[in-house]
Structure 1
């Protein structure tokens, strides 16, 4: 496969992943579909880091646009363009890595929730993992089903950021080949 076609394939794959990351991060601001928790500041701390919006979203979407333009005509005839795609893909790697770390922290620390009368993160710094023991989830009384909500969305961010990380790394390698080897030119009949 030519480096330009590979770039186009990677960019097209990055678009939906970036959109999914942005949507997940926005939805995390509204537990139980209610804005009152965001207004009152009862949002899980890792949501405020905006790993999905900034890292897996914008920091991957902008490189995806450039990478797509690099492979626009099927084969990239510009070594400088492929060299720049390495730099843009590196930005995508940084964004995906940021989103991945925030998602891991979000899963590890658990949600901010109300337990009886107090808002706190009951699973943060606990010895046993709340992820494998769903009997602990009843500790959170408000917002409704917050544990499942956080696990689902942070796990989705974890998967999307992993895929973004892989794709952007592949583009860095692809860009290096395109930069060093030049354009792939199809040979016509003599």
Structure 2
């Protein structure tokens, strides 16, 4: 496969993951699908790190755009352009790692919720993991189903960021091949 075509496929695969990461991060600000918790500041701390919006979103969108341009015939489709795509892909890996770590900490620490009359993260210092024991999820009285809400969205962010990191790593290899061997184009490609 041509290095330019590979770049276009990688970029096309990154775009939906960027959108998914940003969407998940925005939704995490509205546990129980209510705006009240944001207004009152009762949001899980790791959501405020904006891992999905910054790491999986912005820090991934810029490399995705450049990688897409690298795959096009023209000014970026040369050895230097492929070299730059390696750097941009490395930035994408860094963004994916940031998103993954923020989501991982969100899962490990658990959600901020009303428990025993006060807003706390009841699973932060627990000896057993709350992820496998659904009976302890009732500790969170409010927002409704916040544990499932956070687990679903943080796991989605972790999966998306893992895929983003893999795609950017493939682009680093692709960019290295394109940088060393040159970029090929079919006669039919525009």
TM-score by length of 1: 0.95
C-alpha contact 2:21 2:160 (8 A) present in aligned 1: yes
- Corresponding position of 1:51: 51
User: Is 1:160 matched with 2:160?
Assistant: yes
- Corresponding position of 2:98: 98
Q: Partners of 1:183 and 1:102 in 2: how far apart? A: 36
Alignment of 1:14-29 (within 5 A): 14-29=14-29
- Give 1:126 shift: 1.2
Aligned length: 186
- Give 1:184 shift: 2.1
Q: Partners of 1:25 and 1:186 in 2: how far apart? A: 40
- Corresponding position of 2:66: 66
C-alpha contact 2:130 2:136 (8 A) present in aligned 1: yes
Alignment of 1:23-172 (within 5 A): 23-73=23-73, 77-172=77-172
- Give 1:73 shift: 3.4
Q: Partners of 2:138 and 2:77 in 1: how far apart? A: 59
SS at match of 1:126: coil
* Cα deviation code 1:44-94 (max 9, x no counterpart): 0000000000000010011000100100239x7410000000011011000
Please, which runs of 5 or more residues in structure 1 have no aligned partner? Answer: none
Q: Partners of 1:167 and 1:20 in 2: how far apart? A: 15
Q: Partners of 1:29 and 1:110 in 2: how far apart? A: 14
Q: Partners of 2:147 and 2:169 in 1: how far apart? A: 32
SS at match of 2:114: strand
Q: Partners of 1:77 and 1:136 in 2: how far apart? A: 55
TM-score by length of 2: 0.95
RMSD, aligned CA: 1.4
C-alpha contact 2:100 2:158 (8 A) present in aligned 1: yes
Please, which runs of 5 or more residues in structure 2 have no aligned partner? Answer: none
